[in-house]
Amino acid sequence: MSATAHSFPAVDPLDAELSLVQHRALIQALLQNISEGITIADVTGRFVYASPLCAWLLGVTPSTPAAAPPSWSEYGIFHSDGHTPFPAEQMPIWRALKGEDVRDVDMFVRNENVPQGRHIRCHCAPLRDDQERIIGGMVLIKDMDKERQRDEEKRRTERRFQLLVEIAREGIWTIDAEARTTYVNRFMAEMLGYSVEEMIGRPLFSFMDEEGQRLAQESIQRRYQGISEVMDFKFQRKDGTAIWTNMSTSPFHDEQGRYAGALATIADITARRNAEEQARKLNAELERRIAERTLQLEFSNRELEAFAYSVAHDLRAPLRSLSSFSDALAEDCAASLDEQGLDYLRRIRGGAQRMAELIDGILALSRISRTALVAIQCDLSSMARAIAEQLQDQQPERTVRFTLQPGLVDHGDPRLLRSVLENLLGNAWKFTRDRPVAEIELGVKLEGEGVRTYFVKDNGAGFNMAYQQKLFGVFQRLHAQAEFEGNGVGLATVQRIIRRHGGRIWGEGKPGQGACFSFTLNEMPLPPGTTPITRCPVHE
pLDDT tens for residues 250-269? 999 988 889 999 999 999 99
Q: pLDDT, tens digit, for every residue of 80-128?
A: 888 888 887 888 888 898 999 999 999 999 988 888 889 999 999 999 9
Assign 247 a pLDDT band (cuts: 50, 70, 90): very high
- The CA distance from 540 to 537, in Å, is 6
Which residue has better confidence, 204 or 525? 204
- pLDDT confidence bin for 483, thresholds 50/70/90: very low
70 dihedral zone (left: phi>0; alpha: psi -120 to 50; beta): alpha
Calpha distance 201→247 (Å, rounded) = 20
Is the pLDDT score of 44 beyond 70?
Answer: yes
The 3-state DSSP class for residue 443 equals strand
Which range among 77-91, 158-172, 460-474 has the greatest average pLDDT? 77-91
Return the ∠ at Cα 220 (arms to 215 and 223), rounded to 5°.
Answer: 135
At 205, which amino acid appears? F
- At 358 the pLDDT is 67
| CATH 1.20.1630 matches 279-368 | no
The four Cα atoms 183, 185, 190, 192 give a dihedral, to 10 degrees, of: -40
Return d(Cα 232, Cα 277) in angstroms, integer: 14
CATH topology of domain 373-519: Heat Shock Protein 90 (3.30.565)
**How far is residue 120's CA from residue 78's CA, in Å, rounded to a whole number?**
10
- Rounded to an integer, the average pLDDT of 382-405 is 90
Give CA–CA dist 19/34, Å, rounded: 19
pTM exceeds 0.85, yes or no? no
Question: How wide is the angle at C-alpha 252 spanned by C-alphas 246 and 255, nearest 5°?
Answer: 175
Q: Reply yes or no on whether the pLDDT at 227 is more than 70.
A: yes
Residue ranges, comma separated, of all CATH 3.30.450.20 domains in the chain are: 13-150, 168-268
pLDDT of residue 176 exceeding 80, the answer is yes
Phi, psi at 273, each rounded to 5°: -65, -40
Tell me which fold the domain 168-268 belongs to: Beta-Lactamase (3.30.450)
3-class secondary-structure state, position 248: strand
Provide the residue type at 413 as one letter: D
Residue 2 scores a pLDDT above 60: no
Measured from the Cβ of residue 145, the count of other Cβ atoms closer than 10 Å reads 13
pLDDT for position 490: 74
Q: Which residues contact 105 (CB under 8 A, 6 or more apart)?
A: 92, 121, 122, 123, 124
Please give the average per-residue pLDDT across 29-43, as a whole number. Answer: 78
Whether the pLDDT of residue 6 is over 90: the answer is no
Across the range 434-442, mean pLDDT stands at 91
3-class DSSP state for residue 446? strand
Q: How confident is the model at residue 56 (pLDDT cuts 50, 70, 90)?
A: confident
Contact 90, 79 (CB under 8 A): no
Q: Tell me: pLDDT of 175 over 50.
A: yes
Binned at pLDDT 50, 70 and 90, residue 203 comes out as very high
Indicate whether 54 pLDDT > 60: yes
* Average pLDDT of the residues in 270-295: 89
Phi, then psi, of 402 in degrees rounded to 5: -95, 130
Per the CB < 8 A criterion, the answer to whether 89 and 76 are in contact is no
- State the chain's mean pLDDT as an integer: 80
For residue 171, the surrounding DSSP H or E stretch is strand 171-176
Has residue 335 got a pLDDT over 50? yes
pLDDT at residue 201 above 90?
yes
From-to residues of CATH 3.30.565.10 in the chain = 373-519
Is 191 or 487 the better-scoring residue by pLDDT? 191
Q: Does domain 13-150 have CATH number 3.30.450.20?
A: yes
* Dist. CA 233–CA 242, nearest whole Å: 10
Between 5 and 138, name the one with better pLDDT: 138
Mean pLDDT, rounded, for 363-389: 80
Q: Which of 41-45, 161-165, 425-429 has the lowest mean pLDDT?
A: 161-165
The highest-confidence range among 61-75, 326-340, 522-536, by mean pLDDT, is 326-340
